[in-house]
Amino acid sequence: MQQNPTDPNSEYFDQWGSSLKQWFQEKPHHTYGADTKTEHVPLAPEVIGHIGTFPVTNSLVFSILVTILLSVFAIVFSRKITVIPGKLQSFIEVIFEYVYDLGESLAQSRIETFFPWVMTFFLYILAANLLALFPGVSTIGVNVMQEGQQKFIPLLRSINSDLNMTLSLALLSVVATHFFSLKFIGVTDYLKRWFSLKMFGVFLFVGILELVSEFTKIISLSFRLFGNILAGKVLLKTSWSVSAFIVPLPFYFLELVVAFVQAAVFMILTLVFMVMLSEKHHS
Amino acid sequence: MEKILTDFGVQPIYLVAQAVNFIILLLILKRFLYRPVLKVLEHRKKTVSDSLRKAEQITAQLQKTEVKSAEKLSEASKQAQVIIANASKTADRIIAEAHEKAQVDVDIMIEQGKQSILVEQEMMKNEMHDKLAGLVVLGMERIAGKVLDLPDHTKIVDQTINSLKEEISTRAL
């Protein structure tokens, strides 16, 4: 066969395909950057140690680290709060006031109860997403031998790229939503939402749909956050594999936006769910 | 479902651990961040609304004061006009009275003057009569060389006076 690039049956394409396959096999040895040990991003978090019998994962360590950082910041900041605010206080006040006013327009006086929850979701997810972009997260780790193969295990893993974490947040969000619903509308009205006295025909179907939608909330909240952050992580790893310099930069900017958007989406959805379920159902 | 959860490494213990972690963070942030910041925001809102309310009160007070001062000014102006009118009337009255009194005084003084002149005139007439009588007597004594008695005196004096009167009347004509 002739080597003709215009002929799909020519040897040219076979040779090109073989060389490309070979390049991919050898790629880890030719890339630059901190994490050149593996291109694989595992779905499950890696266990990096044990406390007694409790297996500690890298995402859990990072989660505790974020919690400590936010707590320390809150404690230090609380001592510096003044009536005439500085730049940082003004910035924080603007965010709080915006969220509080937004919530107040939807939930009226109930925002006093909802605000700590939705704001903590926002701050926690935002801080976790932003800190995950710092150098060292997912790139500093140890090499261990597993099943006869060397495997790289990072010491820190982005919290929201672990389904345990996002699922836990989503469960908390939905549980808190139902708790507030019971608190604000009472047991009778709460149950009426799901189980009508006319439990036949369309009412029964609507009740079942409502119940299913509650489970859907857990899945949508957890998988949206998890999917976006994990995809970002994969994107960044892929860009590192091309080059550790310049190439990942646009993706870092993209991830900054994604970090903020996902935190805001989780917060707003939780707020909306809380508002919807804490209002009396008019069927 | 179980396979999905296994593939994603989902384990109940991690869900609980993360939930506990989040709730601890929520409590810390609520205590140290949300409460103080919201308190400051509330305090500032209250201060601003108080200031606005005070400013409105001051503006209303100012408007009231302006209206009051305008009313007072108008009232004072009216009172001043009344006082000026009264004063003018009083002044006119005083002047008229003074005029009247002066006229009366002048009349009295003129009358008194006239009376005084009449008295003076009478006195002068009498004095002149006496002096003339004396002169006539003295002249007659020198001419006649004798001392005249009372009937002579009287007769001569009367004749002289009558002639003088005639003379004066003639001159006056």
Q: What CA–CA distance (Å, rounded) separates A79 from A81?
A: 6
Confidence check on the interface: ipTM exceeds 0.95, yes or no = no
Show residues of chain A in contact with B28, CB under 8 Å: 70-71, 74-75
Q: Characterize B147-158 residue by residue with b for buried, 16 or more Cβ atoms within 10 angstroms of its Cβ, and e for exposed.
A: eeeeeeeeebbe
Is-contact A56 A48, C-beta < 8 A? yes
- Which of B24, B37, B44 is opposite residue A96, by nearest beta carbon? B37
The three-class DSSP label of residue A275 is helix
A64 at B interface, C-beta within 8 A: yes
Q: Tell whether A71 is within 8 A of chain B (Cβ).
A: yes
CB count, 10 Å around CB of A233?
Answer: 20
**Measured between beta carbons, which residues in chain A are less than 8 angstroms from residue B26?**
116-117, 120
Give which of A81, A80, A71 is closest to A123, Cα–Cα.
A71
pLDDT in tens, A55-96: 888 899 999 999 999 999 999 999 988 888 889 999 999 999
Q: Which residue do the tokens 């004063």 mark?
A: B87
CA distance A45 to chain B (A): 7
- Residue A117: Cβ within 10 Å count: 21
Q: Which residues of chain B have pLDDT under 70?
A: 146-148, 173
Query: How many Å apart are CA A206 and CA A195, to the nearest integer?
Result: 9
DSSP letter at B32? I
In this prediction, residue A256 carries a pLDDT of: 94
pLDDT at position A282: 59
Length of chain B: 173
pLDDT value at position A74?
Answer: 95
Chain B residues inside the 8 Å CB shell of A55: 13
Q: Report if residue A111 sits inside a domain.
A: yes
The answer to the question of residue A138 being in a domain is: yes
Size of interface A-B (CB pairs under 8 A): 109
A67 occurs within a structural domain: yes
CA–CA dist A90, A68 (Å, integer):
23
| Shortest alpha-carbon distance between residue A43 and chain B (Å) | 5
Look at residue A5 and tell me if it is in a domain: no
Residue at A257 is within a domain:
yes
Chain A residues in contact with B37 by the CB 8 A cut-off are: 81, 89, 92-93, 96
Residue showing tokens 């809380």: A274
Backbone angles phi, psi at A273, to 5 degrees: -60, -40
Asked, for residue A2, whether it belongs to a domain, the answer is no
Q: Within an 8 Å CB–CB cutoff, is residue A227 touching chain B?
A: no
Secondary structure (3-state) at A108 = helix
Q: Is A97 on the interface with B (CB under 8 A)?
A: yes
Q: Measured between CB atoms, which of B11, B18, B33 is closest to A78? A: B33
Angle, CA of B36, B40 and B43, to the nearest 5°: 135
Find all residues with CB under 8 Å of B48, minimum gap 6, and list them: none
Into how many domains does chain A fold?
Answer: 1
> What string of pLDDT tens digits covers the 283 residues of chain A?
445 555 555 566 566 666 656 655 554 444 433 344 445 677 888 888 888 888 888 899 999 999 999 999 999 999 988 888 889 999 999 999 999 999 999 988 899 999 999 999 999 999 999 999 998 888 888 888 777 788 888 888 888 888 999 999 999 999 999 999 999 998 888 888 777 666 566 667 777 888 888 889 999 999 999 999 999 988 888 888 888 788 889 999 999 999 999 999 999 999 999 999 998 765 5
Facing residue for A63 by CB, picked from B13, B21, B23: B21
- Cβ-Cβ contacts under 8 Å, A167 against chain B: 10, 15
CB contact under 8 A, A116 and B32: no
Residue pair A224/A265 in contact (Cβ under 8 Å)? The answer is yes
Q: Which residue range(s) make up the domain with B132?
A: 2-172
Looking at the complex, report in whole angstroms how far the Cα of residue B64 sits from the nearest Cα belonging to chain A. Answer: 35
Q: Domain range for residue A94? A: 34-154+161-277
In a domain, A268, yes or no: yes
Please name the residue of chain A whose CA is at the shortest distance from the CA of residue B12: A164
Indicate the residue of A75, A116, A163 with minimum beta-carbon distance to B10: A163
Q: Which of A48, A80, A163, A230 is the mutation pick for testing B, counting most B CBs within 10 A?
A: A163
Distance of CA A95 to the CA centre of its chain: 20
Count: domains in chain B: 1
- CB contact under 8 Å between A93 and B37, yes or no, is yes
B46 at interface of A, judged by CB pairs closer than 8 A: no
